[in-house]
Structure 1
């Protein structure tokens, strides 16, 4: 018999309990009455708890829908806090009237804050994507290899040599890798228009819609062994599972909506109090906080010896962030603006998009043969950490204008390095690329037959 502390309903209640302090704050008075640190702490805990509830809701639903679709939904929901933060800044940029023309004279036009928010939206998006690969993919690979020393995991192949062990991924993710590569190629062209516009939205969101259509057309598979909250509800009747999943989705979504604005604003103020630019806080600290629930969920899966499921979720998360997150920024911005428009950004943010696309390009080259070694994971992690550390050093040691100029040069250099490394790996793995393209085409043809009969 499970102890009370380990009973799934107790665990579920504990996660829900993380959201209660923020609900009390919101219910009893305006959150602005709190100082920045308590606001960030309480709102951050609420977002953390809500993210667990969302993840469990998706795992519960996995029993009743195609697994690929369930994983895609899980990936979207797990990064819901990230979407919320980005949407907030894109909306404020639109309602403030930030356009390419207006931002060129923002210092005298009275909309400097809106232009600032537009740049923050891009900074948050690029930071989230780079964290997901630099810490997420690399860190989970290294954790999986480390954990396999003491626990059997069929996805880990032990090889002789330092960091030579390899994580084998599910070959069924070839469609995700194919679509992620297509989205990455598109992303390289986004900065050329000076902003994120309608064409970017159509192409990137369109890619994700096609991917979801393929996922939905798959068959409902037998769910593998679960533990904890999902296992408890998988054993309940469908009449219990479905309402439970819906309640978890709705409650968590509302709570994230209520908490995200104070959380993001509190981080900005904290950054200013610590002498850090808002860009640095919103690009790195906010995404690190909002991505942490997803990484915790993946660690949870790895601990259950479900390494492949964990990586599937991470790769699907990257795909939806690299398509929906970019594409919907222009939609939210246009809604705020009151007409179709292009979300503007400064040259510094263009460089951020290029390095993010380049990192994605190299990471796909690593995974295109459905493996990632300890050495490749260390390289991904090392490149990411060294770039962020170097940028932090520039901010601390140099005047703002000089630091930004050198930062752009550094970002371009890292982007070039990522691309060179990626091209070298792709050249070695030409056969793997052909297999991924062929699998994606086959999946697309099956989906077409599914929908047109």
Structure 2
């Protein structure tokens, strides 16, 4: 009996079993009559099970495709619910263009997007760094180095992630200029917007990144254990079919379960007296980011922290490029014409603080390591800003609440930028190396493409 429990397919069966209550109720539409708490419970279990299946699929795929590409696919699937939620708000805004309802939906799309991005860094990157150091006591993770000093232990990152960091920095610098795209709000007021140029640049950056990493070499030096090792032993056709099935099944589950999970949490929060806008910016993205965080925690638990951080950075890159860029596309389709997605001054400030946080986080990773001290700084700045704004919203009447909220956002933006600039200045040699490594990787990819074309001729 014990040997059966240790068999890899037993673990797969357990993960699938977690998804069954939601899968069956969703397929039969029985979930429509569930209480909110029941919906949250079974959809949350489905997200948990699907996250494990997704992680196993990505690890199995590393035998046949470059690891960076496998992790990029994992990242896109894991944050697919975030795309779905934001696309819904963008569509509503475009379908009601020029009306107060449309303006509100557009602001919610931006708020949900910025909230998701800040959660991924402020909570995700910092928590995973701390968890990695904690787990190293039992896993002997080679990526963790013990150092003296207050919270001095560090997690070393794979230097091959330089391409992702460089592209993320490029997208971050461009994001500061996104609010300058003109858009017209309800009532004729001109404000910021996400327009065609933003879509072309940001989506183009991601397409270029994928074009580079997909031509990388397949990693063969890291042996898998457990479920991925079992699937990698399959013959190639069966192995590829298994990977595709795991990706398709887990992707479908995540896409169908996370939105009800997020909305259920929103309803529970509102019942507890939390403002709806605050819930949409913070609680809903936290739910939609949960598959990604579960997958990374799973990788860290296997002493694969470098792969875990690669997945987190890849996830941030696709959210900071594809997610922003596609919002304007969805909005224009719903509106029936090409138009920038509009947002008010509050969302301008939200975009700037999100870009500033990303700028600071990239500065931390420039030397390809993150210390517990730096992780605590990321989390501390993130959580104090959220709490400060929540307190203002709950205790100060309008219009002062909105004014104070803007002051908080601008203040934290300046802090992020100043600390980030200091770190970049101190690590300028590492930054030069990073760009040099990225250029070399890009040249290799272009050379590989030209060689393939010549061989075909």
* TM-score after normalising by structure 1: 0.92
CA deviation map 1:135-177 (0-9, x unaligned): 1111111122222234422212211112111211111111111
Local SS of the residue matching 1:139: helix
Aligned 8 A contact 1:84 1:256 in 2: no
Aligned 8 A contact 1:171 1:370 in 2: yes
**For residue 188 of structure 2, what is the aligned residue in structure 1?**
none
**Residues in 2 aligned to 1:4 and 1:443: alpha-carbon distance in whole angstroms:** 45
- Is 1:406 equivalent to 2:394 in the alignment? no
Aligned 8 A contact 1:51 1:77 in 2: no
**Residues in 2 aligned to 1:427 and 1:196: alpha-carbon distance in whole angstroms:** 31
**For residue 155 of structure 1, what is the aligned residue in structure 2?**
143
- Residue 439 of structure 1 and its aligned partner are, at CA, apart by 1.4
**Residues in 2 aligned to 1:332 and 1:50: alpha-carbon distance in whole angstroms:** 27
Local SS of the residue matching 2:370: strand
Of 312, 330, 333 in structure 2, the residue corresponding to residue 332 of structure 1 is 330
Counterparts in 2 of 1:231 and 1:149: CA distance versus 1, 3 Å: same
**Residues in 1 aligned to 2:339 and 2:48: alpha-carbon distance in whole angstroms:** 33
Counterparts in 2 of 1:278 and 1:123: CA distance versus 1, 3 Å: same
**For residue 75 of structure 1, what is the aligned residue in structure 2?**
75
Counterparts in 2 of 1:43 and 1:92: CA distance versus 1, 3 Å: farther
**For residue 452 of structure 1, what is the aligned residue in structure 2?**
450
- Is 1:367 equivalent to 2:355 in the alignment? no
Any unmatched runs of 5+ in structure 1?
Answer: 107-111
Aligned 8 A contact 2:139 2:302 in 1: no
**Residues in 1 aligned to 2:251 and 2:72: alpha-carbon distance in whole angstroms:** 17
Local SS of the residue matching 1:344: strand
**For residue 179 of structure 1, what is the aligned residue in structure 2?**
167
Local SS of the residue matching 1:19: helix
**For residue 383 of structure 1, what is the aligned residue in structure 2?**
381
**For residue 441 of structure 1, what is the aligned residue in structure 2?**
439
CA deviation map 1:373-405 (0-9, x unaligned): 111111111111111111221222223543222
* TM-score after normalising by structure 2: 0.91
**Residues in 2 aligned to 1:206 and 1:352: alpha-carbon distance in whole angstroms:** 23
Aligned 8 A contact 1:85 1:264 in 2: no
CA deviation map 1:386-439 (0-9, x unaligned): 111112212222235432221111011001100000000111111111111111
Local SS of the residue matching 1:417: helix
Q: How many aligned residue pairs are there?
A: 441
- Is 1:118 equivalent to 2:91 in the alignment? no
Local SS of the residue matching 1:217: coil
Aligned 8 A contact 1:144 1:167 in 2: yes
- Residue 260 of structure 1 and its aligned partner are, at CA, apart by 4.7
**For residue 109 of structure 1, what is the aligned residue in structure 2?**
none
Aligned 8 A contact 1:15 1:49 in 2: yes
Higher mean Cα deviation, 28-37 or 12-21? 28-37
Higher mean Cα deviation, 307-316 or 220-229? 220-229
Local SS of the residue matching 1:270: helix
Higher mean Cα deviation, 242-251 or 367-376? 242-251
Counterparts in 2 of 1:266 and 1:145: CA distance versus 1, 3 Å: closer
